[in-house]
Structure 1
Amino acid sequence: MCMKLSGADVIIECLKEQGVDTVFGYPGGQAIIIYDALYRARNEIQHILTSHEQGASHAADGYARATGKVGVCIATSGPGATNLVTGIATAYMDSVPMVAITGQVPTSLLGKDSFQEVDITGITMPVTKHNFIVKDVTQLAPTIRKAFAIAKEGRPGPVLVDVCKDVTATQVEYTPQKPAKEDYQSIKLTDISTEDLDRAMQAINEAKRPFLLSGAGVGIAGAEREILELSETASIPVCTSLMGMGTFPGTHQLYTGMVGMHGTKASNYAVHNCDLLIVAGSRFSDRIVSNINTFAPEAKIMHIDIDPAEVSKNVRADYPLVGDIKKILKALLKGIVYKSDTDWTKRVLEWKEKYPLKYDKSDTAIKPQYLIERICELTKGDAIITTEVGQHQMWAAQYFKYNRFRQFISSGGLGTMGYGLGACIGAQLARPDKKVINIAGDGSFRMNCSELATAVEYKLPIIIALFNNKSLGMVRQWQELFFGGRFSQTSIDRGTDFAALAEAFGAKGINVNYPTQVDEAINTALAETCRPVLLNFEIDKDDKVFPIVPPGAGLNEVVDC
């Protein structure tokens, strides 16, 4: 049925077409007509007013990661749009589907240095899958629809749509359209020959020391069951990347933990000693590979990924398999020979037992590793965990047992401090049935702590577990280990009372100074149902993240103290 609508109403109708029920944003002059349309649609689309546009982009990101749906954020032109850039780049690096809609000055004022004019499509070109500027209202609906398709298809990512103000005001004929029902993750295996699949099957069956690295792409493709079946059928131990947490059960016997700079000794030793490394849905980042010259020196590499640009980009693949990970694994499983526990499997599991994650449990101070263990235990491992970036992020990855994908939400590729609180808000709105906990450091938290006001406004029972060591902990750790203990600008002991700050925002704040107070504080926070709780855990600034692979070292040179 065709109808005449303003451009702004077309945007709203297109969002409804795509099944969008929640958007995050902040209004402004060039987006004001869009916001007027949102007001009329307030019973159909929930708008979450954040404290800052960056918070909106992180919340949309967290919403997307928690659900697999496309997250949506909206901002005005100029600084409103540029404030989204860090969040867009974060989503781009971690393959998160997002559509960012920005207002722009009228077409007649483009290129004239108009008030709050900025070339946001030019600025975001390197950190989006695609972006658009809409100057013709007849192109608005097709562009919005295309933006959602691009954000979802293949390797997901963010798309920006910049809409000139006069376009949002202009009337146009609009015809509703149902989105295509195709699975955007689905890519046919036409580019993978039978010979390539047969070679890959043979390599797995003949390998004496196979090892499997499961990345986020496995979860995005919904291939967790296939990875588990491959591991159990061929008796292959499994590690995950930071972003791949939960793609393989964290409590499974064959799971050896995270790999890379802060990975377990068992995972890193297994990579170093395997003869076949099967990597699914991971891009071989420097935090995994470390020294490229000594990475998996005895192994052939099998790389399974949906993005052809990633295959052989950082590490040459002997068995490149490009396409839908789930379909590729299903095809491979048809030819995999069953094996019981092998000598190699036993060797890897011996490393796992001999070199567990460890910390000083005799200390009378609160240990950060202990905090993560207690959070995991008291939530029965069922919470969604978001993080800021730093030491606390690594402890959260190491000591919480993730048994499902979309349970660990963190900025991996960009390493965005200030990410976690916005992402926590988005994840809680997406999954009101789950307890969502943001593991934060005091340095990261203070960057976007104003989003506490957002959580209070919308009565979100999120928990902020603040690991307060009064320093920029990860940088300080590097300064001590690798820069002669020269602590340059990493002390942030500014006397901030974070519990009082939370109370000032209308949240609940609790100071926790001793290990005996930990369980009671966490349980109090878990019992809250309609407001955020900040738990200020005082930890020692000299606590460090171990294991660690020193810069320039190989994975076999990992140290744990």
Structure 2
Amino acid sequence: MSIDLFGKQTKTTSPSKIQDAADLIIHYLENIGVTHVFGVPGGAIEPFYNGLARSTRRGGLQAVGACHESAAAYMADGYQRESGKLGVCVATSGPGATNLITGVACAHDNNIPMLVITGQPTIASFGKGALQEGACTGVNVIGMFRHCTKYNSLVSHIDQLETKLANAILRAHQSPQGPVHLSIPVDILRSPLAGKAELYDLNKQLALQNSACDEQGVAELLEELRSAHQPLFFIGSGTSEAIDKIMQLVELCDARFVTTPDAKGLINIRHKAYRGVFGLGGHSSAMYGIELNKSIAVAFGTGFGEFLSAGWNKALLNNKLIHVDASINHLLQTPMAKLHVQGPIAKICEKILDKLRLERGPVSDNNTNYFPKVNPMVVLEEPSKYQSNAIPIKPQRLMKELSENFPSSTRFVVDAGNSMMWAPHYLQPNNARKTHLSCEPNQLPFGERRNHSANWLRLTLNFAPMGWAIGAAVGVARANQSGPVVCITGDGSYLMSGQEITVAAREKLPVVFVILNDGVYGMVMHGQRLAGAEPIGFELPVIDFAKMAEAMGIANFTIKSPSDFEQLQQQQIANLSGPLLLDVRIDREEVPPMIMRLKSLGTAQQESMAS
């Protein structure tokens, strides 16, 4: 037994039972608290799966088999986001490895710590035309992964393995975080260790990583906040460990705040100081809040890519901006900022709070800062359609039904395409974040207890592959089955990756797959119309996805109108023992809030021509 980074005891391989290289890898994964490995088996990775089987028999790691390797990477991504633990995905050599690349690239652009292990033929066969060789004398897999990983190496001798493995795990967690890759020939994977393994305890090093704080920057930030009148806070998804402290700063500084689309799920959207989502699928109230802001704007834990910054909007990106982040890569995106403060955001906020509490008193612990139901300060586009009873169902109304028909423990995972504009804009789930700022999670009423870093809304915005949410939802549910996971995806994405629903069925995971079924690539169709482009290539076949699910033995339901939701039993939803598919026939003519995207593409000027 050992203690992992999260303070929990973990079962690890006894040093005396480490038979080969595979056992050594598994020992390290167990030691840092990893519980599941996602992948597709094959000949060149077989020794690793043998080690997994031995670990499973003694109550250790569990293997989760994906239908496609890219989905295995998405699952590892979702698992990491939900659990905070290292995501791990594995694949065999050749096409198994190349199939991983899209998922790994997505993790790279979204700073997801992930260990990627791929197999190779025997090292003695390199250069001889071995089946699926991925060395420099074949299809160079190492070269392919070089540009989407933080660490990337071929293990060419058993004596290299432990050092390279430790280096990879540490680098994955080092800011800026991201995926790392080890390519290991099959003969090395099954090799007995040449000598006694060092068995480094990486938990101690991981706990110390990224702990340095810019003390001068903190002091300057404190002075800026002291003198600011109603500053604006711009909260990103990198604040999960610090969100409660940031909300205390909101109170002490009388700040207004907006979120990026992927950070909406970190806050209570009923807070009176909240002005909505800024960026893709955002709210006009958030845009106005930034444009009318006369004070400083403090950005916490976010990059400033296209979807996060509303197409690099200069109302935010100017010399009033203060950028607080652990990632130097994020800070490099704001050279115009008034101040950069680098370091762990929670630590920075705690230092500021220590000073401001002494000067301004403690944070009040009551619910007077929250609206009882809907937040009137957040302005929805076309609010009448949010209430519409029209048939086919409006996507806006669908978001309302999803908000109201699922328990507060629900996690929403949203796919690329129109879904990632509808959901951040219109989803308003009930009681999704605790309101008691001074309470520890275990002191809260049962219905409000959540993981301290829980985010009820998961998106991928920097790479955004279609089908990501389908695999990621499986990974989220595998990490935490305390409530349902709702995957919001389109029919185009589901046709690409929908087979992964069988993984949720095999694992008995409570995932609800909500398919926005409109027979088109919606983002493409609406983008072409608004830009005055040629209407081409967006039509999809008409599919009855409920019948597809039925053929797989999976519970399903077809929704054509808002009243169809009345037949769904909330008690059944809250106690799912496996996946449920909702085939939702939406109105394809409804245009999502996508003008920002068109401006970034340089096509929004033609909007008037199309209308």
- TM-score, scaled relative to structure 1: 0.90
Distance in 2, Cα, partners of 1:453 & 1:271: 44
SS in 2 for 1:405: coil
State the shift of 1:193 in Å: 4.2
- Superposed CA offset, 1:428-477 (max 9, x none): 11111111111111111111111122122222231111111111111212
Which of residues 323, 332, 352 is equivalent to 2:343?
Answer: 323
Q: Does 1:19 align with 2:33?
A: yes
Indicate conservation of the 8 Å contact 2:39/2:90, yes or no.
yes
Distance in 1, Cα, partners of 2:313 & 2:421: 25
SS in 2 for 1:294: coil
Which of residues 380, 383, 396 is equivalent to 2:410?
Answer: 383
Equivalent residue letter for 2:343: G
State the shift of 1:113 in Å: 4.4
Indicate conservation of the 8 Å contact 1:284/1:315, yes or no.
no
Distance in 1, Cα, partners of 2:539 & 2:360: 55
1:392 match: 419
Which of residues 458, 462, 466 is equivalent to 1:409?
Answer: 458
1:153 match: 174
1:256 match: 275
- Superposed CA offset, 1:4-49 (max 9, x none): 6222222222222222221111111211222222222222221111
What pairs with 1:95-494 in structure 2 (closer than 5 Å)? 95-118=111-134, 119-172=140-193, 173-175=195-197, 176-184=199-207, 187-189=210-212, 192-194=214-216, 196-219=217-240, 222-274=241-293, 275-290=295-310, 292=312, 294-296=314-316, 300-336=320-356, 338=360, 353=377, 355-357=379-381, 358-360=383-385, 361-365=387-391, 366-401=393-428, 402-403=432-433, 405-483=454-532, 486-492=534-540, 494=541
Between the aligned residues of both structures, percent identity stands at 27
- CA 1:8 to 1:416, structure 2 compared with 1: closer, same or farther past 3 Å? same
Distance in 2, Cα, partners of 1:83 & 1:273: 47
Distance in 2, Cα, partners of 1:354 & 1:87: 34
Distance in 2, Cα, partners of 1:218 & 1:354: 21
What pairs with 1:2-41 in structure 2 (closer than 5 Å)? 5-41=19-55
Distance in 1, Cα, partners of 2:468 & 2:120: 26
2:436 match: none
- Superposed CA offset, 1:195-241 (max 9, x none): x333322222223352111111111xx10111101111111111111
The size of the alignment, in residue pairs, is 543
Indicate conservation of the 8 Å contact 1:30/1:77, yes or no.
yes
- Superposed CA offset, 1:320-353 (max 9, x none): 101111111222234446599xxxx9xxxxx964
- Superposed CA offset, 1:216-268 (max 9, x none): 1111xx10111101111111111111222333322212111210242111111
Equivalent residue letter for 1:181: K
SS in 2 for 1:131: strand
2:89 match: 73
SS in 1 for 2:331: coil
State the shift of 1:282 in Å: 0.7
1:529 match: 576
- CA 1:4 to 1:291, structure 2 compared with 1: closer, same or farther past 3 Å? closer
State the shift of 1:279 in Å: 0.5
2:77 match: 61
Distance in 2, Cα, partners of 1:287 & 1:501: 34
State the shift of 1:273 in Å: 2.4
Indicate conservation of the 8 Å contact 1:187/1:324, yes or no.
yes
Which runs of 5 or more residues in structure 1 are unaligned?
346-350
SS in 2 for 1:478: helix
Distance in 1, Cα, partners of 2:582 & 2:313: 44
State the shift of 1:154 in Å: 2.7
What pairs with 1:494-533 in structure 2 (closer than 5 Å)? 494-521=541-568, 523=570, 526=573, 529-533=576-580
State the shift of 1:112 in Å: 4.5
Indicate conservation of the 8 Å contact 2:281/2:422, yes or no.
no
2:590 match: 543
Mean CA deviation greater in 72-81 or 292-301: 292-301
Distance in 1, Cα, partners of 2:597 & 2:114: 35
Indicate conservation of the 8 Å contact 1:463/1:525, yes or no.
no
Distance in 1, Cα, partners of 2:581 & 2:292: 44
- Superposed CA offset, 1:107-145 (max 9, x none): 223345431122222111111121221111122123222
Which runs of 5 or more residues in structure 2 are unaligned?
1-14, 135-139, 364-368, 370-374, 434-452
- Superposed CA offset, 1:300-338 (max 9, x none): 110011112321424522111011111112222344465
State the shift of 1:102 in Å: 0.8
Indicate conservation of the 8 Å contact 2:484/2:576, yes or no.
no
Equivalent residue letter for 1:154: S
Q: Does 1:88 align with 2:107?
A: no
- CA 1:449 to 1:200, structure 2 compared with 1: closer, same or farther past 3 Å? same
Indicate conservation of the 8 Å contact 2:555/2:579, yes or no.
yes
- CA 1:352 to 1:462, structure 2 compared with 1: closer, same or farther past 3 Å? same
Equivalent residue letter for 1:289: S
SS in 1 for 2:303: coil
Distance in 2, Cα, partners of 1:242 & 1:77: 37
SS in 2 for 1:5: coil
Indicate conservation of the 8 Å contact 1:25/1:75, yes or no.
yes
State the shift of 1:167 in Å: 0.7
SS in 2 for 1:41: helix
- CA 1:440 to 1:519, structure 2 compared with 1: closer, same or farther past 3 Å? farther
- CA 1:50 to 1:212, structure 2 compared with 1: closer, same or farther past 3 Å? same
- CA 1:276 to 1:431, structure 2 compared with 1: closer, same or farther past 3 Å? same
1:51 match: 67
Equivalent residue letter for 1:516: S
- CA 1:237 to 1:144, structure 2 compared with 1: closer, same or farther past 3 Å? same
1:348 match: none
Equivalent residue letter for 1:80: G
- CA 1:70 to 1:291, structure 2 compared with 1: closer, same or farther past 3 Å? closer
SS in 2 for 1:19: coil
Mean CA deviation greater in 150-159 or 440-449: 150-159
SS in 2 for 1:321: strand
State the shift of 1:524 in Å: 7.5
Indicate conservation of the 8 Å contact 2:266/2:456, yes or no.
no
Distance in 2, Cα, partners of 1:303 & 1:38: 43
State the shift of 1:287 in Å: 2.1
State the shift of 1:363 in Å: 4.6
State the shift of 1:548 in Å: 3.7
Equivalent residue letter for 1:49: G
- Superposed CA offset, 1:58-100 (max 9, x none): 1111111111111111110110011111111111111111111
